[in-house]
Structure 1
Amino acid sequence: MRSLIVHNNASGFGSDAVFEFERALLEQGDECVMRVLPGSGGGRECLADAEDFDLVVLSGGDGTVSGLLWELRGRDVLSCVFPSGTANLLHANLGSAAEPAAIARACRRGLWARTDLGELSWEDPSGAHVCGFGVMSGTGYDARLMQAAVPNKQSMGEAAYFAAALKNIRPQVSHFSIEVDGERHERDGIACMVANCAMIQGEVEIVPDSSMDDGRLDVIVLETEDAVHLLRPMFASLVDPAGSHLGRPYLEHFSGERVHVRSSEPMPMQIDGELVTEGVTEYEARALPSCCKLVVDGLSRYRPQGERAPVHP
């Protein structure tokens, strides 16, 4: 088996788990190429010959992995999401085991699933931009938390986000004009996010029945003027993680294939937990159905229904 590992050294806490995975993956006669991403960009170049490999492993945080998957969209390349970041929500939403040896076994077994990505386009003072996202992106309060958490992510991990929230309990309320598959909605809130999958830490689903393989995106509006109000949906999530009984107070959501969001004032934007820009007043998002071919295991909610022969003996 020929495998390619594309790794972001700057992700997460700098764990060497990806090297433990590499040792578990390789057998006699195998060939493995590792490419370390440069400080910025470089994904397209690293993946230019991806079709020459039996397996491509994408190692980094959610932002890194989603960007690499977007470069591979529609290319029919068997890809493995390896969680090397701070939150690793994309891997968590897949539902596969997270231990390096378990991920290696899944790669050898060769089970895979077709999943979606989201694609985001916007303009800011530097020009027009297009990129992919695997988990969740948006403007407003969530992006401001990402911005505030940046200095502490390496030292505090996920706790950096909670520390940032405690420092910003009176977020700015804005007006959002939201168009979903041609239907317009006018809402006031502190954030408007678009999700390809909506499960966060603790297996909490922000909205129920969000899926990575339904060809749709979920639009989520935080309708509150006080961050303390967010304790109610957080409490509801503790006793009803799927959100199927208690719902999510102060959260409203819509679902569709194409989304256009316009805000009443410029805002910061985050994409899969990474602050990418400030000064955004509108953006568009669309679903890219079944554009990824991802390794899964028997624990994943996206596992094939029937047993398949291994892709790699």
Structure 2
Amino acid sequence: MRSLIIHNPQSGFGSDAVYEFERALLEGGDECVMRIMDDSWIPQQAVFDAESFDRIIISGGDGTVAHLMYALRGSSVPVCVFPSGTANLICASIGNAHEPAALALAVRRGHTTKLDLGEISWISETGVAHTHGIALMAGSGLDAQLMRTAIPHKKIFGEAAYFTAALSNLTPDVQTFTITVDGITYERQGIACLIANSAKFQADIELLPGVRMDDGLLSVIVLETKMTAELVKPLFTGIFDRSGKTLGRPHIEGFHGREIHIEISSPIPVEVDGEVFPDEARALDARVLPKACTVIVDSMSPYAQQ
């Protein structure tokens, strides 16, 4: 078996667990290429020879994983996501066991499923055009502001940096979002509007229950609150009602579709899978890329039987 491991050593706390994974993966006759990313890495260049490998392992945080999954869209080579970041929400959404030996076993067994990706585009207020892949979630408003605040502190505080950032912004700006999903338009007010391929959040909470990465749809999630503190209630219900069928998700509304257009009442920052962009935007366009990536799954994954 010929494997390619793409590792971003800047992700998370710089864990060496990926080398433990490599030792567990390799057997006699195998070949493994370890490709270490530097600060100037380009996703397309990192996977230029992807088709010459039997398996590709992406080791990094959600931003690294999302960039490389998007660069590999349409490829038939199976991808394994190895959690080396801070939150590792993409890996959590796929649902594999996180231990290096367990992931190595999953790679050797080679059970796969095809998962959707999203694609988001916008033109910033300075006229710069952006197009990026969505593996997990993209958003505008509070979530982008929290990401921007948390990034400098992630190396020290880990996931706690996100909660510290939330406490520093208790009264974010309320925006009017005009949302068009598959030709139907809705107008809502809130502090954030998210476009999700998966709604998995920290502590294994689903912001919007029932969102899957293999249903051929993207979801729009609107946080219809005026204060950050009001999000405590939906997060609390998420802990005790993961299905959302009993307590629901107060202050959160969702829409589902293939083509999405969002207009925002004033320019706000945008984040995609944890990466915050410096320019602000007034409008976003997104579309689903069905079954775009072949992903390795183990028996613990909710996608193992699909």
**In structure 1, distance between residues paired with 2:243 and 2:67:** 28
CA deviation string 1:244-290 (max 9, x = no partner) = 22111111110001111110111111111121233111111111100
CA apart distance, 1:242: 2.3
1:38 Cα deviation from its structure 2 partner: 2.4
1:64 partner SS: helix
Check 1:41–1:130 CA distance in 2 against 1; reply closer, same or farther (3 A cut). Answer: farther
* Corresponding residue number in structure 1 for 2:106: 106
1:84-103 → structure 2 map (5 Å cutoff)? 84-103=84-103
Aligned twin of 2:6:
6
1:135-182 CA distances to partner (integer Å, 9 max, x unpaired)? 111100000000110110011000000000011100100111110001
8 Å Cα contact 1:61-1:84 kept in structure 2: yes
Deviation per CA, 1:202-247, whole angstroms, max 9, x where unpaired?
2211111100000001100011111111111112112102212211
Distance 2:14 2:74 in 1: 30
Q: Retained in 2: the 8 A contact 1:63–1:133?
A: no
Contact 1:269 1:280 in 2 (8 A): yes
Q: Does the CA-based 8 Å contact 2:260-2:286 persist in structure 1?
A: yes
Distance 2:288 2:120 in 1: 9
The alpha carbon displacement at 1:98 in A equals 0.3
Cα deviation, 1:66-104, whole Å, max 9, x if unaligned, reads: 110100101111111111111111110111100011000
State the match for 1:58 in structure 2: 58
User: Partners in 1 of 2:40 and 2:224 — Cα distance?
Assistant: 35
Q: Does 1:191 align with 2:201?
A: no
Query: Which residue of structure 1 aligns with residue 160 of structure 2?
Result: 159
Q: Partner residue of 2:123?
A: 123
Q: TM-score, normalising length from structure 2?
A: 0.98
Cα distance in 1 between the residues matched to 2:240 and 2:130: 40
1:308 aligned residue: none
Partner of 2:21: 21
Give the deviation of 1:201 after TM superposition: 2.0
| Kept after mapping to 2: 8 A contact 1:181/1:259 | yes
* Contact 1:153/1:160 (<8 A) preserved: yes
Residues 137 and 273 in structure 2, CA contact (< 8 A), matched pair in contact too? yes
Q: State the alpha-carbon separation in 2 of the partners of residues 192 and 99 from structure 1.
A: 34
Distance between the aligned counterparts of 1:15 and 1:280, measured in 2? 35
Q: Structure 2: any 5+ residue segments left out of the alignment?
A: none
Kept after mapping to 1: 8 A contact 2:223/2:252: yes
Matched, 1:80 2:74: no
What are the ranges of 5 or more consecutive residues in structure 1 without an aligned counterpart? 306-313
TM-score (norm 1): 0.95
SS in 2 for 1:73: coil
Does 1:171 pair with 2:172?
yes
- Which whole-Å CA distance do the structure 1 matches of 2:205 and 2:194 have between them? 16
What is the RMSD computed on CA atoms of the aligned residues? 1.0
State whether residues 266 and 278 of structure 1, in contact with CA within 8 Å, keep that contact through their aligned partners in structure 2.
no
Identity percentage of aligned residues = 52
1:126 shift after superposition? 5.2
Deviation of residue 199 (structure 1)?
Answer: 1.5
Distance 2:278 2:304 in 1: 36
Q: How does 1:1-313 map to 2 (within 5 A)?
A: 1-124=1-124, 125=126, 127-304=128-305
CA contact (8 A) 2:120 2:287 kept: yes
Tell whether the 8 Å contact from 2:207 to 2:235 is kept in structure 1 after alignment: no
Q: Are the equivalent residues in 1 in contact too, given 2:25–2:101 (CA < 8 A)?
A: yes
Q: Which amino acid aligns with 1:35?
A: R
Moved segments of 4+, more than 3 Å? none
Q: How big is the shift at 1:304?
A: 3.2
Secondary structure of 1:232's counterpart equals helix
